Chains A and B, each alone.
Chain A
């Protein structure tokens, strides 16, 4: 009886405490605008500016573009007012990005000056590939390769100069309009026409047969990057244990404003007869 009495006491105490009211505050909506701008050497300036998506239920922002701004990009030739193209995109089709040049962005939003600066990296130097073509066996549905028949090519070495220890990234894209699968057994989630490596301080990358899912011509794009861009890959957390504002190079705003240079090679993946 005594035991039962004690248990009842404990449980009632729990409910007593559980009934306590708690304060429920909701954090204010973050009004800083989001800038997304990759300044590719040789291309014209194009910048996307959006609002943040609201977490609070008090604001209903879904991250739509902000189209009412006066956005300027400065270079060594002066200040250029960009034209709004709708959906938060601002561009100047006459302002071509030059490698090695510095660009600054600034505009006023909610009475604050939002700004950012970047330097466009130099074009990649001495980008080479060990082979230009590759032959891979077609694997039909329902067939399994036997060890004796399974052959792999040597890796394709991609090399470039990286004397100043900067970040590079490779993106491989299939250029065919309706490419043919190398392995019909490949599950749907792996049927991708492009893949990349992580931005890294390196001067080479090795491509293997297994990375290609489709036959045809592939574009190998080497990106010369600023560390700002590399930080995008390791600057986010989605856990309430470790939420903090992500790394950004924008003052009074979030996102990225960074210069990029590229070089491109092509590789053909042929069907082995």
Chain B
């Protein structure tokens, strides 16, 4: 039962505990901070198969405390436990949880502590709930509506929304007063303020993706500050038939508040099929408007935009590269992510610096109540996490992941490098297989990442969080040839010759964030962050020789060395001020110091290209979310101002979003906004291995600051079980850049001609979504019609299809729950991407008699690859511990279940006067097995 009995200033939290193995259930109430005076009493008693009646009698006798209980009931219940220095309220709590041997199951038990410190223990035999398969249901407390006169009217409630089991704050939870237009959304630290609650007998509802919607009936005794709402995860099988009306635990949610915003529940990702890892970015690729047909990129192609036009923010710092293993997996460990949302366009003034979209990830803070340890092992990687509540105020979460050279890793790695070898073949002979020397390939490729978050809560109003993220990919396809020096004495010496093909890239990011609730209506957080992306590429041939007579060692390196290093030092201070009932003001300032370097050198002696950019971006924003007519109309104007020191210009980004709820189910939305981008990822045509990306900073001359303007309109109709949504968008792009590097033909120098082409373009489209949100069978079907076109003078008049252009894209995601099983299927169909085919070709005979093939092109992206389609399937079986608690799952996943051959790109060869075209394909059918377990 949910009754909030105030104990002077004591905070009362309603908590659900695990049920015992027998059929019955428990609901209890515990006193949290500050500790009850009863806790000064410590219990040191041992009970073995005692009745609860005996237990309570003993406690009353020994500690002079009054316990009120039903003696008839408690004489039939047995209890075993050894209390050792146990605080008194904790001891009472333990008796209601039945940790011992009860012959009959306990019914729902609760205890109250009144102001006179009397303890009342009650039980309720009538509300036991079982699941369909006869298991005990884990349910939220069923609370009765308060019946009596209200004492307060038009008051404010502020508090926090947390996960019931871990105490982890839950961000972006919608908290509303039922039957009114009053509502709010919790901030990144789970804090919320409900203003002008009409009466203290009103009903409050809190809903969050992946959790059951919670209904709370207020009563005059409840406190209005530090109001804690605990939400119950909605993932466990045991929840599925609990009769709680209107509750859902969706995997994906279109935002009801913001246009073009999608939320995803990382906790539910395991239900989706995967190649080797449950993956946040891959899951977003199943959403309407995000392209799903690019297996070799974890980055998001949102509404005809490129991945670098999508801002990825993790705990406040920007992540510049999200790919692991050639993009087949993302750098984000789903075990470390608490919340993730994607703004597909028209995003808030709080965000900037990108043309297309924003993805905001919030890391887990970790269990604040209990130590936790868990991990996954799959055919791709091993993944471990721990959650440590260090003290009452400090919690630590750490998650680590590393691939191992299992079948999936090798498969992907080899398919890439098979291609590399074909394109890089050089008729260079630097050694031969003599007797004795060895020729070996190193096998040291891997990816790994680490997330650590430390949260410190010095006071009720302050929260300090340090978040650290590290990811690395090492892709090594080097070979080493070693010839030892002779042992026979005389004129002999050592010799080694290595062909290096090493790529190392990764991110190091960290942020320190201080959040403070300055007042009930004013909340702010200030953050300093560091983010570094580095990418090193070494494709060279190294010869080291040692001369035996002179002992002189000579090393010569031939080949290409490439290095990109980006550092982003940022400061942000954001505030939310609920000035009026109808106005929610957001404002803040920001500053970023960019330092971006790119080097390209050939043969360790000559640097052919060195770019370095250093720039500072500073600015501020203000935005007001205004609601009128009982929240039926929402208008959100905002402006963001940025000053970029390299160009010396001030950039203004006006934005406007509006929403009109015609009925409770039907709403119309529209938005407009301007966006600038100052750091660009340039795709360079890598002669040897396809395109290579690197980041450079805009400058006044070669790479202008790019700009986009969004126009979005949408309509949605939502019922309890279905959501229908249509959105149309148009995005105009100005000053977009393309890059090309050419070797110069100047006589005696090794310079390179860089060509930056500046152009313009647009993307437009329509997205349709039907989501089914019923219990056993959930999922969605989406269709996008899109067009992305660019124009660069160098490619001729008119527009050409951008590389990422996909005309039709159809996606279906379905999850079916049956007892402990989750079955899911995802289907993707997409129009083939455009590509440039050669118009002609020729061979040149080189000086040593070998010949090289060359291809010429006339029109860019004039052809399309075959359509892409793929079906993925998965089945997961939930594993329960002896207390019927869901502690993990075993999952079998089948990627590309019908083994469709999807073309990644084409390759061309010249053979006997004709051009041979061959396809390089994406992954065929790929099974994966994952075992995931955790303590709690």
Contacts and interface: CB of A to CB of B under 8 A. Distances in A.
Interface of A: 2-3, 6-7, 10-11, 13-14, 17-18, 20, 22-32, 34, 36, 38, 50, 52-56, 61-64, 119, 139, 143-145, 147-155, 164-167, 169, 171, 183, 185-187, 190, 192, 194-198, 200-202, 204-206, 208-213, 223, 226-247, 249, 254-256, 260
Contacts of A200: 558, 603, 605
A263 B71 CA distance: 110
A154 B549 contact: yes
A79 B558 CA distance: 40
A227 B905 contact: no
A243 B837 contact: yes
Interface string B863-880: 111010100000000000
Interface of B: 419, 423, 426-437, 483-488, 490-495, 541, 543, 545, 547-549, 554, 556, 558-560, 602-603, 605-606, 685-688, 690-691, 740, 742-750, 777, 779, 781, 808, 810, 812, 814, 816, 825, 827, 829, 831-832, 835-849, 852-859, 862-865, 867, 869, 905-910, 913-915, 917, 920
A7 B824 CA distance: 11
A148 B488 contact: yes
Contact of A28 (B427, B558, B858): B858
B858 to A, nearest CB: 5
Given A211-B430, A238-B855, A240-B835, A151 B907 contact: no
A54 B745 CA distance: 27
A169 B847 contact: yes
Contacts of A38: 847
A225 B812 CA distance: 59
Contact of B432 (A11, A211, A236): A211
B920 to A, nearest CB: 8
Contacts of B839: 27-30, 52, 55-56
A228 B430 contact: no
A4 to B, nearest CB: 11
B862 A6 contact: no
10 contacts: A7-B825, A13-B810, A147-B486, A152-B486, A195-B848, A200-B558, A210-B483, A211-B429, A242-B686, A244-B685
Given A20-B867, A63-B842, A243-B836, 18 more contacts: A18-B869, A24-B864, A36-B844, A36-B845, A53-B910, A54-B840, A148-B486, A149-B488, A153-B492, A183-B432, A183-B433, A208-B545, A233-B426, A234-B688, A239-B906, A243-B908, A244-B740, A247-B742
A18 B829 contact: yes
Contacts of A143: 435
Given A22-B864, A150-B488, A242 B842 contact: no
Given A52-B841, A239-B905, A240-B837, A213 B854 contact: no
A240 B918 CA distance: 10
Nearest to B834: A240
A208 B431 contact: yes
B825 A55 contact: no
A230 B559 CA distance: 12
Nearest to A135: B491
A212 B427 CA distance: 15
B5 to A, nearest CB: 46
A106 B481 CA distance: 47
B751 to A, nearest CB: 8
B556 A202 contact: yes
Contacts of B487: 147-148, 150
Most interface-central of B435, B862, B908 (chain A CB within 10 A)? B435
A22 B906 contact: no
B428 A195 contact: yes
Most interface-central of A20, A194, A238 (chain B CB within 10 A)? A238
B840 A55 contact: yes
Contact of B748 (A30, A148, A164): A164
Contact of A187 (B433, B485, B744): B433
Given A211-B430, A242-B686, A27 B488 contact: no
B699 to A, nearest CB: 24
Nearest to A25: B862
B547 A155 contact: yes
Given A17-B810, A240-B905, A198 B547 contact: no
B745 A231 contact: yes
A152 B687 contact: no
A206 B556 contact: yes
Given A55-B908, A165-B749, A190-B433, A154 B548 contact: yes
Contacts of B842: 34, 50, 52-53, 63, 254-255
Contact of A194 (B430, B687, B848, B853): B848
A242 B869 contact: no
Given A50-B842, A152-B486, A14 B810 contact: yes
Contacts of B856: 30, 32, 52, 245-246, 254
B521 to A, nearest CB: 47
Contacts of A166: 747-748
B474 to A, nearest CB: 23
A174 B814 CA distance: 68
Contact of B687 (A153, A209, A237): A237
Given A63-B842, A150-B488, A6 B745 contact: no
B846 A232 contact: yes
Most interface-central of A143, A171, A200, A233 (chain B CB within 10 A)? A200
Contact of B545 (A27, A32, A206, A243): A206
A204 B688 CA distance: 26
Contacts of A155: 493, 495, 545, 547, 554
A116 to B, nearest CB: 10
Closest 10 CB pairs of A and B: A52-B840, A30-B840, A62-B913, A195-B429, A151-B486, A231-B743, A30-B839, A240-B906, A242-B685, A34-B842
Contacts of B914: 53, 62
Given A152-B483, A154-B547, A201 B906 contact: no
Contacts of B747: 119, 166, 226-227
Given A29-B839, A246-B855, A139 B434 contact: yes
A202 B605 contact: yes
Contacts of A167: 750
B435 A145 contact: yes
A263 to B, nearest CB: 14
B838 A243 contact: yes
Contacts of B690: 237, 239, 241-242
A14 B827 contact: yes
Given A154-B548, A200-B603, A241-B905, A210 B431 contact: yes
B688 to A, nearest CB: 7
B558 A241 contact: no
A227 B745 contact: yes
B907 A238 contact: yes
A245 B750 contact: no
Contacts of B558: 197-198, 200
Contacts of B829: 13-14, 17-18
Contacts of A183: 432-435
A93 to B, nearest CB: 21
Contacts of B605: 200-202
Contact of B844 (A28, A145, A230, A256): A256
Nearest to A237: B687
A22 B749 contact: no
Contacts of B863: 24-27
Contact of A242 (B691, B743, B814, B862): B691
Contacts of B840: 29-32, 52-55, 61
A150 B858 contact: no
B432 A10 contact: no
Contacts of A244: 685, 740, 836, 857
Contacts of A229: 847
A150 B436 CA distance: 8
A83 B13 CA distance: 99
A227 B744 contact: yes
A7 B429 CA distance: 57
